[in-house]
């Protein structure tokens, strides 16, 4: 009887072990990443209160994202960014003291240590008070001395790098938006998508990536308004770009 009882207990423990092993093996498929959208101020023509909910909704098709929104730039100096996998910059600050040097340093430190960063539209104009340092982080930054953008209207976004995980399999797409011509900087970047200006015929980067320390940065200047953010092509770029910065496979199973 004792031998039978011990055998039965061993079989039970073996079954439990196999179950736990199966759960452990299955867990990577259910991995989720915490994404923080930081917003709260922008140029008057950029209605961030309207665009922020739309930006957040872009991540809904990918169940791997857990998205939170903070609407106060003054919170950045003290935010525990290490609790997140990627930060989405959806702001352009005008007060040099908000978020201020501490806020910038907190963000830069997070990325340098391995966090992800996504810049949306006029986020390229943030931190003008620390422009040189910000350019190192963002890859390119707004130069107010340059022509800002083509007249608002429709243009084609051309996929330039068809091998990068973010843009692999994507097709060129039309969008009604602002074609930015105002980016400046010489930090090495990898351009993923561009557009040809109807004003001067030059090709300008619309989306690009770079590394900053141990972190990944995805910078896309699309997204002037609600209509632009609801564009299917732009949505895919932001969703895939964010996944890449958070070290996920950019194309979710739900998108295949």
Q: What is the pTM of this model?
A: 0.87
Higher-scoring residue by pLDDT: 101, 20 = 101
Q: Which residues of 157-182 are buried (b: 16+ CB within 10 A; e: fewer)?
A: bebbbeebbbbeebeebebebbbbbb
In a domain, 255, yes or no: no
Q: Is pLDDT at 2 greater than 70 in this prediction?
A: no
Strands (DSSP E) contained in the chain are 33-38, 65-70, 86-89, 116-120, 141-142, 153-159, 173-177, 183-184, 190-196, 203-212, 215-220
In a domain, 46, yes or no: yes
In a domain, 212, yes or no: yes
In a domain, 174, yes or no: yes
In a domain, 22, yes or no: no
Q: Is pLDDT at 222 greater than 70 in this prediction?
A: yes
Residue span of the structural domain in which 189 resides: 32-250
Nearest Cα to Cα of residue 39 among 82, 92, 102: 92
Q: What is the pLDDT of residue 253?
A: 64
Specify whether the CB–CB gap between 53 and 86 falls below 8 A.
no
In a domain, 154, yes or no: yes
DSSP string covering 81-102? GGG-SEEEE-----STTSSHHH
Distance of alpha carbon 213 from alpha carbon 137, whole angstroms = 9
Show the tokens assigned to 208.
């690009």
Residues 6+ apart with CB under 8 A from 76: 38, 99, 102, 103, 106, 107
What CATH number is given to the structural domain containing 65?
Answer: 3.40.50.880
- The domain tally of the chain equals 1
Q: What is the pLDDT of residue 31?
A: 81
In a domain, 235, yes or no: yes
In a domain, 17, yes or no: no
Q: What is the pLDDT of residues 88-100, one digit of tens each?
A: 999 999 999 999 9
């Amino acid at each position: 009887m004792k031998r039978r009882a011990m055998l039965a207990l061993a079989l039970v423990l073996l079954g439990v072990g196999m179950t736990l092993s199966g759960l452990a093996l299955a867990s990577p498929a259910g991995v989720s990443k915490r994404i923080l959208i930081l917003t709260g101020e922008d140029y008057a023509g950029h209605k961030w209160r309207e665009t922020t909910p739309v930006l957040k909704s872009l991540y809904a098709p990918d169940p791997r994202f857990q998205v939170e929104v903070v609407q106060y730039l003054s919170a950045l100096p003290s935010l525990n960014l290490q609790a997140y996998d990627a930060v989405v910059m959806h702001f352009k600050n005008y007060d040099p003291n908000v978020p201020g040097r501490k806020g910038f340093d907190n963000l830069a430190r997070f990325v340098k240590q391995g966090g992800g960063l996504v810049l949306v539209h006029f986020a390229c104009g943030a931190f003008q008070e620390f422009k040189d340092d910000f350019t190192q982080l963002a890859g390119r930054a707004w130069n107010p001395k340059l022509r800002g953008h083509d007249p608002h209207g429709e243009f084609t976004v051309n996929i330039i790098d068809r091998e990068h995980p973010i843009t692999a399999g994507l097709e060129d797409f039309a969008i009604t938006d602002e074609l930015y011509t105002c980016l400046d900087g010489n930090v090495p970047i990898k351009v993923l998508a561009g557009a040809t200006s109807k004003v001067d015929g030059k090709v300008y980067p619309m989306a690009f990536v770079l590394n900053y320390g141990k972190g990944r940065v995805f910078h896309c200047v699309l997204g002037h308004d609600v209509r632009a953010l609801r564009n299917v092509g732009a949505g895919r770029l932001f969703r895939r770009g964010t996944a890449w910065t958070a070290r996920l496979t950019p194309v979710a199973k739900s998108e295949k």
